[in-house]
Copies of this chain bind each other. A is one copy, B any other.
């Protein structure tokens, strides 16, 4: 087991000083050509690489960023992670992942740990449901006070002033509903989350606006707000069994797929009897039978944008107080579940 080689080792071996070695390796012109060559050759031979920890200690930066997501089993967050990782690695940063499991406590603990230990240089976070419910953002504000950059994504809040990257949720829902209407649907149901989930609320607003703009009534009984994951199926069944509608928009993959399954069990044909659209860029919608039209949120782009913003802020010396919000437009991926009425 070879121990890792250090500057000191090289210095001793070549009988020069540590600083000479350091400078040589950095191609510092102070050092004579031949010494430099010699050192570099030796270093290469022994595969020298600077010890990151020492450099971190010196520079007071780790070149690590934390990504905190509420869930990993949503394809959306998975693609976000991929996007973040892509840009981060490209720029020489590493990504520490933390799944909050929708828990406020876990979110707070992770952030404190990462921030206080100086483990990461900055954060990308999507709020847990519990956090959005409690509306307690002290941990985030604290992070900012410590001078650590923070980029919020997707599930964000106005209560925290920071860079943000969000989905155009309202417009995404608006587009979906409009798509239904263009295809002749008139009674459009919505399966969304409780209002405290920011994205759920915005999607509902987009849904309502689309109806209003097309002079269609907003019917309360066609809108269901899912309380908890495990009651989703029952609540959706309730909608399906007791209401008549010819289209349904789900604010995530699960709601849409569950709705479709229940509708099919009832003998409804998709899309002839009921058209379906779901939010998210996941495989659940893509591989469903029939495949389901999706409001693509472009998780990868969100991840890339967030990582880009964060790193830019980390590397810019100026204390820029102009926080930006980048809105990533959604796009509608038309699939089988909305064909046919019209086409």
Residues of A within 8 A of B (CB): 1-4, 47, 49-54, 56-57, 62, 64, 72-73, 75, 78-79, 81-82, 85, 89, 94-99, 110, 114, 116-119, 145-147, 254, 257-258, 260-261, 264, 283-284, 287-289
A128 to B147, CA, bound (A): 39
* A10: min CB distance to chain B, Å: 15
Q: State whether A72 and B81 are in contact (beta carbons under 8 Å apart), knowing that A57-B57, A94-B119, A118-B53 are contacts in the complex.
A: yes
Q: Which residue of B57, B82, B264, B288 contacts A53 across the interface (Cβ within 8 Å)? A: B57
A118 to B147, CA, bound (A): 26
| CB-based contact B81/A73 at 8 Å | no
Q: Which residue of B47, B56, B81, B117 contacts A50 across the interface (Cβ within 8 Å)? A: B117
Query: Could you write out 24 A-B pairs with CB less than 8 Å apart?
Result: A4-B118, A49-B117, A51-B57, A51-B118, A52-B117, A53-B56, A64-B96, A72-B78, A72-B79, A73-B79, A81-B97, A81-B99, A85-B98, A94-B119, A95-B96, A95-B97, A96-B96, A97-B97, A254-B287, A258-B287, A261-B289, A264-B289, A288-B288, A289-B289
What residues of B have a CB within 8 angstroms of the CB of A85 in the complex?
97-99
What residues of B have a CB within 8 angstroms of the CB of A47 in the complex?
116
Residue picked from A72, A89, A287, most chain B C-beta under 10 Å? A287
A54 to B62, CA, bound (A): 11
Q: State whether A1 and B117 are in contact (beta carbons under 8 Å apart), knowing that A57-B57, A99-B82 are contacts in the complex.
A: no
Given A85-B98, A283-B284: 19 more A-B contacts, CB < 8 Å: A1-B146, A1-B147, A2-B147, A49-B116, A51-B117, A53-B57, A57-B57, A72-B78, A72-B79, A81-B99, A89-B98, A96-B96, A97-B97, A254-B283, A257-B287, A287-B288, A288-B288, A288-B289, A289-B289
Closest to A116 in B: B49
| CB-based contact B284/A261 at 8 Å | no
